[in-house]
Amino acid sequence: MKQEHRLVAEIYRFIAPFIDTTKDVYLSLDGQAARTAVTAGRFADPDIPDLWFTLVGATEPMRIEAKVIEDNGGALLMRSQLAAWRSNGVGSYKPKYWVATNRSFNEFYFWSHQEFLSSLDKSTATANTLTLRPPKTKLVFGSVPQLALHILRKAE
């Protein structure tokens, strides 16, 4: 299992009891599935964050993008995500939060999308994928349960 998928699965594991399952839940939706859903009229565009769920009692879904921070300090991002989610991006489904783990899966990070925008806005992509440097200021957690609890506390 890829580390990014592992992070999504572990976050979901701890947040699942608080998710309103009568509303849409999407986890790590792959690009082809998202494009098919756009063609079918389900989504306005295919750039969907890795976690999309609505907490019990919430009126809006929470969308979270998950990344792995490599040893060089960068995270892989698709050019389409960059174009969709930067300040002037045209994406319909911008993440509200960003989470990440290091490759060793023993540190976990959290940013709001607002905090992440400076990294997105100063990046220029010419290839289909790029390595993005996340913001230096971040919240750091020693376990997925701590990160999941922080996500739940941030919920409106």
The domains found in the chain, sorted by start residue, are 3-154 (3.40.1350)
The answer to whether the pTM exceeds 0.75 is yes
Report, as an integer, the average pLDDT of 18-42: 91
Residue 125 pLDDT more than 70? no
Compute the distance between CA of residue 18 and CA of residue 71 in angstroms, rounded to an integer: 33
Between the two ends of the chain, the Cα-to-Cα distance in Å is 32
Is pLDDT of 115 > 90? yes
Q: How confident is the model at residue 15 (pLDDT cuts 50, 70, 90)?
A: very high
Mean pLDDT, rounded, for 120-146: 87
The 10s digit of each residue's pLDDT in 75-104 is 999 988 999 999 999 999 999 999 999 999
Share above pLDDT 90 across residues of the chain, in percent, rounded to a whole number? 74
Given a cut of 80, is residue 126 above it in pLDDT?
Answer: no
Torsion of CA 130, 134, 136, 140, to 10 degrees: -140
* Residue 50 clears pLDDT 60, i.e. is over it: yes
Q: Give rounded-to-5 percent helix, strand, coil for the chain.
A: 35, 25, 40
Which whole number is the average pLDDT over 14-41?
92
Angle at 62 between CA 19 and CA 40, to 5 degrees: 95
| 3-state SS class at 146 | helix
